[in-house]
A and B are shown apart, each in its own frame.
Chain A
């Protein structure tokens, strides 16, 4: 891919990659950093990308890696300072300085998805929000398409159980 192609890539996909990472981290400032990291990596590698490659899936794969590394580093830090910032992101998602994204509009569903294990959360978001196919999700998460599907299904089961008894405001008429 040439420099022009890369410009197009940034213009077309940065926003959705950012949204994906916002879903992954639930913090705008972290998503901002991680999206930058994603595109800086992509810039360094884009010349080797074959012209017929699926650039969008490739970007999501880089973003997923960046997110995974971020949480790995985060959990190392957390272990090092046990108790200081306990499970802030994985289950709570609310930042301490009021940078919580969904402070007002945050729905129950947001909270439940934020509480999913990382791989399930990423797989679920890639599939249901960004509409990637299971092959692409598998490449993003370094697993087979079948495990990608299993992650999505597992996420949905957990969401359903977490919402048990709680009726989502948006619903389909079903009689």
Chain B
């Protein structure tokens, strides 16, 4: 290989830059001047430019199977989006809480009893989902939720995604529970009856035990037929009492549990459009499984009920 003169070696990077259009005008002019007198460098310049031209043909040229690859990507991305949940963990008066949402809606609210990190979440054990830590979209939900548990908000108008429900039956239980109004309580048996499965009381309780959206799907408003709160989030029945208290539902402690103050609540039987004082004759034969109880007249009326024309709770409200 012939060694180039040092002047050529020195100008080589500039020559290369010029050939591929990277050089400024001064450098390019210097290279052109040199190339005019140096055949070797002139030849190099031609070759580099030929490469440049040949590569230029690659630009914008489609690759083989491009559309097929694109279609495959679209379908994999769609699958990923379907299984992705965005979550964040927040402090709350009820302990650390994880909130997660999918593109369709809020899919998980979880009390992290083991500690405020993801490893303690049910999501970490669910292979069907991919949980991504992300704050921005979940942050607004958290603010709503805080206001809600502090009693400064009575509605969470969130789109819900019940994908974490364990079965179709669980999903139906959750949907029915979600319709229990703020400040009201019903019994497990009552929910089972509404579903047309009066013997499924325990199954309803199980479904609510696995409620992926506590607070939002208000399983705290579902109690035992005796009036006892019975259970919540494992053994945290005090949380249930607390959430009910925020909504104005009064309870008293009873045997390591709480019992609602049934005498202090207005009642509505079955699908009636009226609410009564608890002493109303029309309720005499009714068990709690048949009733929805309301913490106040305002709550009953907010749920669309009218005062009973027999007991007239509007004229003779419960005296406290």
Contact = CB atoms under 8 A, between A and B. Distances in A.
A35 B50 contact: no
Given A131-B59, A163-B51, A168-B51, A43 B80 contact: yes
A36 B73 CA distance: 6
Interface string A149-175: 100010011011001000111111010
B117 interface: no
A143 interface: no
B49 interface: yes
A22 B74 contact: no
B197 interface: no
A3 B136 CA distance: 13
A60 interface: no
A157 B76 CA distance: 40
B77 A167 contact: no
B66 interface: yes
B66 A157 contact: no
A32 interface: yes
Contacts of B74: 10
B286 interface: no
Given A22-B64, A174-B46, A32 B69 contact: yes
Interface stretch (A13-21, A63-71, A78-86): A13-21
Contacts of B53: 168, 170-172
Contacts of B84: 43-44
Nearest to A38: B73
A76 interface: no
B175 interface: no
Contacts of A57: none
A14 B51 contact: no
A40 B70 contact: no
Identify the interface centre among B13, B57, B63: most chain A CB within 10 Å of its CB. B63
A167 B69 contact: no
A107 interface: yes
Interface size class of B (residues with CB under 8 A): 35 or more
B273 interface: no
Contacts of B136: 47
Contacts of B103: 3
The binding surface of chain B is classed by DSSP as helix
B16 interface: yes
A28 B63 contact: yes
A160 B12 CA distance: 13
B156 interface: no
Interface residues of A, number: 40
B48 interface: yes
A170 B103 CA distance: 51
B155 interface: no
B306 to A, nearest CB: 45
A109 B65 contact: no
Nearest to A130: B59
Contacts of B61: 19
Given A3-B103, A22-B64, A159 B69 contact: no
A31 interface: yes
A128 B86 CA distance: 39
Contacts of B42: 174
B255 to A, nearest CB: 49
A22 to B, nearest CB: 4
Interface of A: 3, 10, 14-15, 18-19, 22-23, 28, 31-32, 35-36, 39-40, 43-44, 47-48, 101, 107, 109, 128-131, 149, 153, 156-157, 159-160, 163, 167-172, 174
Given A22-B64, A36-B72, 19 more contacts: A14-B73, A19-B62, A19-B66, A32-B65, A32-B72, A40-B80, A44-B132, A47-B137, A128-B58, A129-B55, A149-B22, A153-B16, A160-B44, A160-B47, A171-B49, A171-B50, A172-B46, A172-B49, A172-B50
Interface of B: 13, 16-17, 20, 22, 42, 44-59, 61-66, 68-70, 72-74, 76-77, 80-81, 84, 86, 103, 130, 132, 134, 136-137
19 contacts: A3-B81, A14-B73, A18-B66, A18-B69, A18-B70, A22-B63, A28-B64, A32-B69, A43-B80, A44-B130, A47-B86, A101-B63, A101-B64, A128-B58, A159-B51, A163-B47, A171-B50, A174-B42, A174-B49
